[in-house]
Amino acid sequence: MVEMRRAIAAAMTRANRDIPHYYLSHEIDLQAAQDRLATLNIERTPDRRLLMGALLIRATVRALAKVPELNGRHEGDAYVPSGLIHCGLAVAIRGGGLIAPAILDAADKDPDTLMEAMRDIVARTRAGRLRNSELTRGTITVSSLGETGVDALFGVIYPPQVALVGFGAPRLKPMVHGGAVTPRLAP
Amino acid sequence: MTRNDILEGLVAELIDVAPDLDPAALGENDHLQDDLGLDSMDFLNLISRLHKRFGLPIPESDYPRLATLAKAVAYLEKEQAG
């Protein structure tokens, strides 16, 4: 644990020192996604249910296809965009610490496949059985605060990556939908 | 199955999902997510295990009824009887 925290501190210090961070925030309406999840999950046994996190990763990798300048690595003096999307996932270690292993080649994975990959990578993170490639090949990181907590997250980029996408906790908010103010789910 | 059997089964599955928890330190009114720190993936893993152990469907709409250990025991007891 001490070793891991030392490594995290070194990486984050380097990130804050070397990467000029700036932060953008945008509210998104998750109600349709939540409704779709509820409809899908009602037919499924718990081991096959999807979490919102799988849809957030799917949305992120689809969006990255349109902005390749955010998906890649800055190594040496040059930024090299990556053809593949290796989507890192910030995973909290119970007892303290955070690791961001990557779901490799995530671009074409559907939500069910991403959910399976998330389950697998979270379980192996907690068990300390990650592959080296998962820790070293990420091209973007997603950090999601789950179901409870704050509205938005501005993270520290994981070098040599150049961007991080943070999702706040979704909660019901008054939003304009179809010309009327209604309660909708938004992070 | 007595209430105690259900509680024991629940705690065993909980400790499998979150091995850092100390069974002796658990309180029945501890909130699984707010107090014991289960995230959405941990909670879903626990529900999957309870589904297998107790043979109950546990739809998502019932999740609030499993928010604490005491609530979950009451829920499992009632659903098994029903």
CB A51 to CB B44 under 8 A? yes
CB A148 to CB B20 under 8 A? no
User: Could you tell me which of A97, A118, A126, A117 has the C-alpha nearest to residue B17?
Assistant: A126
pLDDT digits (tens, 9 = 90+) for A80-90: 999 999 999 99
**What's the CA gap between B82 and B78, in Å, rounded?**
6
Smallest CA–CA distance, residue B52 to chain A, in Å, is 9
Fold annotation for B3-81: 1.10.1200
**Contacts of residue A145, Cβ cutoff 8 Å, sequence gap at least 6:** A153, A166, A167, A168, A169
Q: What is the ipTM for the molecules in this complex?
A: 0.91
Q: Are B69 and B26 within 8 A, CB to CB? A: yes
pLDDT for position A5: 83
Cα dihedral B26→B30→B35→B37 (10° resolution): 70
- The dihedral sign for the CA sequence A76, A153, A48, A185: negative
pTM of the model: 0.92
pLDDT digits (tens, 9 = 90+) for B26-70: 999 999 999 998 989 999 999 999 999 999 999 999 999 999 999
CATH of domain A2-186: 3.30.559.10
* Domain locations along chain A: 2-186
* DSSP 3-state of A76: coil
